[in-house]
Amino acid sequence: MTETGKLLIAAVQMCSTNNLEDNLNRACERIQEAADRGADVVALPENFAFMGSDEERAQVAQDLDGGILSRLRRIAREKAIHILGGSILVRSSDESDGRPYNTSVFLDREGTPAAVYHKIHLFDVSLTDGASYRESSYIRPGEEIVTVCRDGITFGLTVCYDLRFPQLYRALARKGAQIVFVPAAFTLVTGKEHWMPLLRARAIESQVYIVAPAQFGRHDAKRQTHGHSAIVDPWGAVLAQASEKECVIYADFDVEYLQEVRRRIPVLDHERPELYANTGPDA
């Protein structure tokens, strides 16, 4: 963090396809663009390196030391920036379950994978337009809530469908998160009505900055995403929002403003978790 208590954050919006090499080249170009503009943190969207069919995606799963992250690690070191690899498919070490994880990786300024988050909530839904998604059929769910502290700032990691689970964001705030990433490939149908209200709600209720780099546009004959990548402050103000194109958006993280918001309405102090613990269906 700079002496002013601010950090320049960049979120990349992409329209990835099933051409891994082209996607990766474009992602790296956008990271370079952001770094040259002075960004301290650059975040990529969910599935930034590959947006193909379920069968195709299973074939591009890698280990954490694979070629996709190697490219990002090199740029992080060269530019001395943090990079959020929105999500890639990472092989599981559990041979009894062949499904990979949908994984977000936070690289620090040395290019070290400082945090690895496997998407917890999987997108198994049937939408009003007739589209049906069963992410759990080819993705293994994660089991751990993940934060990482760098430059005196604590970052929280989430992915796309996680956005609908406010308890995860409150848990991240409880773990000290000040900035929470939401790399996404939100569907066009749900995104029109829910994307921005959910981003603002998660920022307001947990008093964090939300950084949401997203996929946009048509990826193939069957898949179209909403886009509208955004950066939202803890008061719920939309600091930056992408238009309908591949681009990079920017906003400052201001730690003093974050602290002011939390002093103004101290919801984390007023919370009464002992009353919420036994409210589930099995209570």
Annotated catalytic residues are 46, 119, 160
**Do 89 and 55 touch, CB atoms closer than 8 A?**
no
- CA 79 vs. chain centroid, Å, equals 21
Helix (H) / strand (E) containing 216: strand 216-218
Task: Return all residues near 14 (Cβ < 8 A) that are at least 6 apart.
Answer: 23, 26, 27, 30, 44, 45, 48, 215, 216, 246
Distance CA 166, CA 187 (A): 19
Other beta carbons within 10 angstroms of residue 55's beta carbon come to 8
Q: What are the helix (H) ranges across 37-165?
A: 54-59, 67-79
Distance CA 249, CA 214 (A): 11
**Do 202 and 166 touch, CB atoms closer than 8 A?**
yes
Distance CA 209, CA 244 (A): 23
Rg of the chain's alpha carbons, rounded to an integer?
18
Crossing angle for the helix pair 20-36 and 67-79, to the nearest 10 degrees: 10
Backbone angles phi, psi at 117, to 5 degrees: -120, 125
Structure tokens at 253: 């993280």
Structure tokens at 172: 């991240």
Structure tokens at 178: 């000040």
Distance CA 210, CA 257 (A): 14
